[in-house]
Amino acid sequence: MKRISPLITQSSFSLFFIILLVSSLSCTSENPEPPTASGPNIIFILIDDQRYDFLSFKNHPWLETPNIDRLAENSVYFDRAYVTTSLCSPSRASIVTGQYAHTHRVLDNDTAIQPGTPTFPQVLQDGGYHTGFVGKWHMGGSNDMPRPGFDYWASFKGQGPYTDPEMNINGERIPYEGYTPDILTELSIDFIKSRQENEQPYMLYLSHKSIHEPFTPAPRHAGRYSTTEITQPYTLEQSEGKPQWLIDQRKSWHGAERDYDIYGDYGDYDTFFRRYSECMLGVDESVGAIVDVLEELGQLEDTVIIYYSDNGYMMGEHGLIDKRVMYEESIRVPAFVHWPDGTSGARMDDRFILTVDIGPTILDMAGLPAPESMYGNSFLPLVQGEEVSWRDAFVYEYFMDPQAVQTPTIFGLRTEKYSYMTYHGVWDLFELYDMEADPKQLSNLVGGVKYGHAYGPFLRHLGNQDPDTYAIAKALDDSLTAHLHRIDGSRQPRWVQ
């Protein structure tokens, strides 16, 4: 038997230690300093329930939003910005994860994001950004504790109140007095100012709870529009060619034929509309205050400001109030990017951008790769005026909410020309609108189908009764299915199979 000489053994032993030592030294030298980030400061402002046309910038006849207008006029304004699902928490989850609701599975206003799901704030923090969150998080019921990915946290439970909120500041609950949107603004300004002595870039996520119900304007704005003449939308009375479930909804708590007493004691349509509008004045002042502090610090030109809303709002169109449905007032939102040093000038862009694009875009601005789990695309090339191929259609989905069962599960496809809406779990009409000829969505091209008591797939009845329109609808239907499959979705969601 060959024996190992003690000398060799000793040498091997010493060598082993030398390797260990070198390896240990090498680990120490590679053990990184915290990553450094070199991207711009980024402020993401999210408004709650602001519909796309609710800005004086968008030619609203009497609403006053001078501060947002001033910013929007000097921005790349996205005139066709949409949400992929029109409900607060599911939409907010799509924003932070870059995923559709069928993937992140925050399908109602109580569910939390699954632990471990990559979010853009987490990637920013890991990439060396200092990250702050101020306002309504709402994903996870009444849990107001700091979420992963944030160095600074100032939030509250659920929707939070409009006045005197108990704020959770970095894990400690502190009572505040005053109008919540003002308090969120002050905390945001404190955050911005606190970062001035630090070269590390920051990302501030200001997540307003306004202009959500119960519409509660700041005391200084209450009554501002009390004498303003309110005009109801001319689509309010229109119900011909609509699905029966939607006609029935007119009398529900999300319908225009009820008492407008959802959460607040509005009593009538005019009061309902006026209070929603007066809430917007507080949001406008908030944006103005953020702009003022950046100007004061000489940072308005090189700070990215992204403005978006988590969903739109029906104000009586088609007899509905609230959101959830796929009509434009519910899914289209105001959106712009103000970044004079990073863009090639103010302009209007009419390509489809989506909530799921926000995370990838912010990470792109920060010079960080988006996780593969994010479905959306960075619209930074659009902001910078580059020629890129871009989507010409997108999927919309909404999953029936146990707290609002009058709206069924929806799968839809919005293309440049058409808006196609299918309903899951109800025997009823689908909807198809030619958006070029009928932007207010009055004439349902498949609304004349006699469904009766025949039941069975809607498209089969359409094919029997109107072959020409069937050809259009079938192509859209196939495209919807293909689009859903590309994002790992299905019109037969796995959890109901």
Residues that bind Ca ion (CB under 5 A): 48-49, 88, 310-311
The CB-of-216 to Ca ion minimum distance in angstroms stands at: 15
Q: How far apart are CA 110 and CA 99, in angstroms?
A: 18
The CB-of-389 to Ca ion minimum distance in angstroms stands at: 31
Q: How far apart are CA 263 and CA 41, in angstroms?
A: 38
Using alpha carbons, select from 339, 432, 421, 437 the residue that is nearest to residue 382.
Answer: 339
The CB-of-141 to Ca ion minimum distance in angstroms stands at: 16
The CB-of-95 to Ca ion minimum distance in angstroms stands at: 11
The CB-of-102 to Ca ion minimum distance in angstroms stands at: 19
Q: How far apart are CA 240 and CA 242, in angstroms?
A: 6
Cβ–Cβ under 8 Å, residues 318 and 242: yes
* Partners of 338 in the β-ladder: 305
b/e map 172-205, b = 16+ CB within 10 Å: eeeebeebbbbbbbebbbebbeebeeeeebbbbb
Closest residue (Cβ) to Ca ion? 88
Q: 80 vs 92, which CB is nearer to Ca ion?
A: 92
Q: How far apart are CA 17 and CA 492, in angstroms?
A: 60
Q: What angle do CA 319, 322, 326 make, to 5 degrees?
A: 80
Q: How far apart are CA 408 and CA 248, in angstroms?
A: 12
- What are the φ/ψ torsions at residue 141 (nearest 5 degrees)? 55, -125
Q: 46 vs 63, which CB is nearer to Ca ion?
A: 46
CA-atom Rg of the chain in angstroms: 26
Q: 311 vs 441, which CB is nearer to Ca ion?
A: 311
CA distances from 326 to 190, 255, 312, 407, 417 (A): 38, 15, 10, 11, 15
The gap from C-alpha 9 to its chain's centroid, in whole angstroms, comes to 65
Using alpha carbons, select from 44, 240, 4, 195 the residue that is nearest to residue 133.
Answer: 44
Q: 253 vs 451, which CB is nearer to Ca ion?
A: 253
Q: How far apart are CA 458 and CA 454, in angstroms?
A: 10
With tokens 């994001």, the residue in question is: 113
The CB-of-344 to Ca ion minimum distance in angstroms stands at: 32
Max Cα–Cα distance, the chain, nearest Å: 106
Q: 155 vs 311, which CB is nearer to Ca ion?
A: 311
Q: 216 vs 311, which CB is nearer to Ca ion?
A: 311
CA distances from 494 to 203, 386, 405, 488 (A): 36, 39, 20, 11
The CB-of-309 to Ca ion minimum distance in angstroms stands at: 7
Q: 49 vs 349, which CB is nearer to Ca ion?
A: 49
Q: 55 vs 366, which CB is nearer to Ca ion?
A: 55
First and final CA of the chain: distance in angstroms?
67
The CB-of-443 to Ca ion minimum distance in angstroms stands at: 29
Q: 107 vs 462, which CB is nearer to Ca ion?
A: 107
* DSSP 8-state class, residue 496: G
The CB-of-93 to Ca ion minimum distance in angstroms stands at: 12
b/e map 296-314, b = 16+ CB within 10 Å: eeebbeebbbbbbbbbbbb
Q: 48 vs 328, which CB is nearer to Ca ion?
A: 48
Name the token pair of 444.
């349902």
Q: 48 vs 317, which CB is nearer to Ca ion?
A: 48
The CB-of-355 to Ca ion minimum distance in angstroms stands at: 11
The CB-of-49 to Ca ion minimum distance in angstroms stands at: 4
Cβ–Cβ under 8 Å, residues 362 and 120: yes
Q: How far apart are CA 187 and CA 172, in angstroms?
A: 15
The CB-of-88 to Ca ion minimum distance in angstroms stands at: 4
The CB-of-131 to Ca ion minimum distance in angstroms stands at: 22
